[in-house]
Chains A and B, each alone.
Chain A
Amino acid sequence: MKRKISLFLCFMMVFTMFTACSNEQGTSTSEAGSDEDVIKIGVFEPLTGENGGGGLQELDGIEYANKMYPEVLGKKIQLVVVDNKSDKGEGTTSVSRLIEKDKVAAIIGSYGSGVSIAAGDIIKNAKIPAMGASCTNPMVTQGNEYYFRACFIDPFQGKVMANYALEKGAKTAAVIMQNGDDYSIGLGNFFIKSFKELTGDENSIIDVSEFQVNDTDFNSILTNIKAKNPDVIFAPSSLTTAPLIISQARDLGIKSLIMGGDTWENPSVIDVAGSDAEGIFISTFFDESNPATEEARSFIEGYREELGGKEPNIPAVAALGYDAYLLIRDAIERAGSTNGDAIKDALNSTKDFEGVTGIINFTEEGDADKNIAVIKTVENGKFKYIDTVEIK
Chain B
Amino acid sequence: MITNKKNTLFRKLNILTVIIAIILLYLIDSDIVGNQYIKRILNLCAIYTIVSVSMNLVNGFTGLFSLGQAGFMAIGAYTVAIFTVPVELRESIFYVVPQNPVLSQIQIPFFPALLIGGLLAALVAILIGMPVLRLKSDYLAIATLGFSEIIRIIFTNIKTITNGALGINRIPAIPSLELDNFNISFGPMWSIFGIAALSVLLISLLVNSSYGRAFKAIREDDIAAQAMGISPFKHKVMSFAIGAFFAGIGGGLLASLLGTVDPKQFYFTMTYNFLLIIVLGGMGSISGTVIASFIVTAGLELLRFFDEPLTLFGVNIPIFRAGLRMVIYSILLMVLVLFFRNGLLGQKELSWNAIIGWFKNKMPSHKKSEGGAL
Which residue numbers of A lie inside 8 Å of B, CB to CB?
1-7, 9, 13, 16-17, 20, 23, 47-48, 50, 59, 80-83, 85, 87-90, 92-93, 96-97, 99-101, 114, 117-118, 120-122, 125-126, 137-139, 142-143, 179-182, 184-186, 189
Nearest CB to that of A2 among chain B residues? B339
A-B contact pairs, 18 of them (CB 8 A): A4-B369, A20-B302, A47-B322, A80-B308, A82-B304, A82-B322, A85-B326, A88-B258, A92-B40, A92-B258, A96-B37, A99-B37, A114-B264, A125-B36, A180-B156, A181-B165, A185-B165, A189-B97
Q: Is B95 an interface residue (CB 8 A)?
A: yes
Q: B167 touching A182 by the CB < 8 A rule?
A: yes
Known: A101-B37, A180-B263. A83 touches B323 (CB 8 A): yes
Q: B259 touching A121 by the CB < 8 A rule?
A: yes
Partner of B157, one of A6, A7, A179, A189: A179
> What is the minimal beta-carbon distance from A58 to any residue of chain B, in angstroms?
12
Q: How far apart sit A80 and B302, CA to CA, in the bound complex (Å)?
A: 16
Which residue numbers of B lie inside 8 Å of A, CB to CB?
35-38, 40-41, 44, 92-93, 95-97, 153, 156-157, 164-167, 169-170, 173, 254, 257-260, 262-265, 295, 300-302, 304-305, 307-308, 322-323, 325-326, 335-336, 339-340, 361-362, 365, 369, 374
Known: A2-B339, A3-B362, A118-B260. A93 touches B41 (CB 8 A): yes
The residues of A that contact B258 with a CB separation of less than 8 Å are 88-89, 92, 118
Q: A114 touching B167 by the CB < 8 A rule?
A: yes
> What is the minimal beta-carbon distance from A34 to any residue of chain B, in angstroms?
14
The residues of B that contact A121 with a CB separation of less than 8 Å are 173, 259
Q: A99 touching B157 by the CB < 8 A rule?
A: no
Q: How far apart sit A99 and B39, CA to CA, in the bound complex (Å)?
A: 13
> What is the minimal beta-carbon distance from A386 to any residue of chain B, in angstroms?
29
Q: How far apart sit A1 and B96, CA to CA, in the bound complex (Å)?
A: 62
> What is the minimal beta-carbon distance from A133 to any residue of chain B, in angstroms?
16
The residues of A that contact B369 with a CB separation of less than 8 Å are 4
Q: A93 touching B365 by the CB < 8 A rule?
A: no
Give the number of residue pairs across the A-B interface with Cβ within 8 Å: 119
Q: How far apart sit A189 and B98, CA to CA, in the bound complex (Å)?
A: 12
- Tell me whether chain B's interface is mostly helix, strand or loop, or mixed: helix
Nearest CB to that of B326 among chain A residues? A48
Partner of A3, one of B92, B170, B365: B365
The residues of B that contact A1 with a CB separation of less than 8 Å are 374
Known: A117-B260, A139-B169, A186-B166. A97 touches B301 (CB 8 A): yes
Q: How far apart sit A93 and B254, CA to CA, in the bound complex (Å)?
A: 13
The residues of B that contact A17 with a CB separation of less than 8 Å are 302
- Tell me whether chain A's interface is mostly helix, strand or loop, or mixed: helix
> What is the minimal beta-carbon distance from B46 to any residue of chain A, in angstroms?
13
Q: A180 touching B307 by the CB < 8 A rule?
A: no
Q: How far apart sit A357 and B265, CA to CA, in the bound complex (Å)?
A: 31
Nearest CB to that of A116 among chain B residues? B260
> What is the minimal beta-carbon distance from B261 to any residue of chain A, in angstroms?
8
Nearest CB to that of B340 among chain A residues? A6
Partner of A189, one of B40, B44, B93, B96: B96
Q: How far apart sit A82 and B170, CA to CA, in the bound complex (Å)?
A: 24
The residues of B that contact A81 with a CB separation of less than 8 Å are 307-308, 322
The residues of A that contact B38 with a CB separation of less than 8 Å are 100
> What is the minimal beta-carbon distance from B69 to any residue of chain A, in angstroms?
15
The residues of B that contact A20 with a CB separation of less than 8 Å are 302, 305
> What is the minimal beta-carbon distance from A212 to any residue of chain B, in angstroms?
8
> What is the minimal beta-carbon distance from A85 to any residue of chain B, in angstroms?
8
Q: How far apart sit A142 and B95, CA to CA, in the bound complex (Å)?
A: 12
Known: A82-B304, A117-B260. A7 touches B326 (CB 8 A): no
Q: How far apart sit A195 and B166, CA to CA, in the bound complex (Å)?
A: 21
Interface centre among B153, B260, B325 (most CB of A within 10 A): B260
The residues of B that contact A138 with a CB separation of less than 8 Å are 95
Partner of B156, one of A6, A16, A85, A179: A179
The residues of B that contact A99 with a CB separation of less than 8 Å are 36-37
Nearest CB to that of B341 among chain A residues? A2
The residues of A that contact B36 with a CB separation of less than 8 Å are 96, 99-100, 122, 125-126
The residues of A that contact B322 with a CB separation of less than 8 Å are 47-48, 59, 81-83
> What is the minimal beta-carbon distance from B295 to any residue of chain A, in angstroms?
8
Q: A180 touching B165 by the CB < 8 A rule?
A: yes
> What is the minimal beta-carbon distance from A159 to any residue of chain B, in angstroms?
14
Q: How far apart sit A96 and B257, CA to CA, in the bound complex (Å)?
A: 13
Partner of A88, one of B93, B173, B260, B339: B260
The residues of B that contact A50 with a CB separation of less than 8 Å are 264
Nearest CB to that of B97 among chain A residues? A189
Nearest CB to that of B44 among chain A residues? A89
Known: A16-B302, A185-B166. A89 touches B37 (CB 8 A): no
Q: B264 touching A142 by the CB < 8 A rule?
A: no
> What is the minimal beta-carbon distance from B143 to any residue of chain A, in angstroms?
21
Give me 6 other A-B pairs in contact (C-beta within 8 A), A100-B36, A122-B36 excluded.
Answer: A3-B361, A9-B335, A89-B254, A100-B38, A121-B259, A179-B157
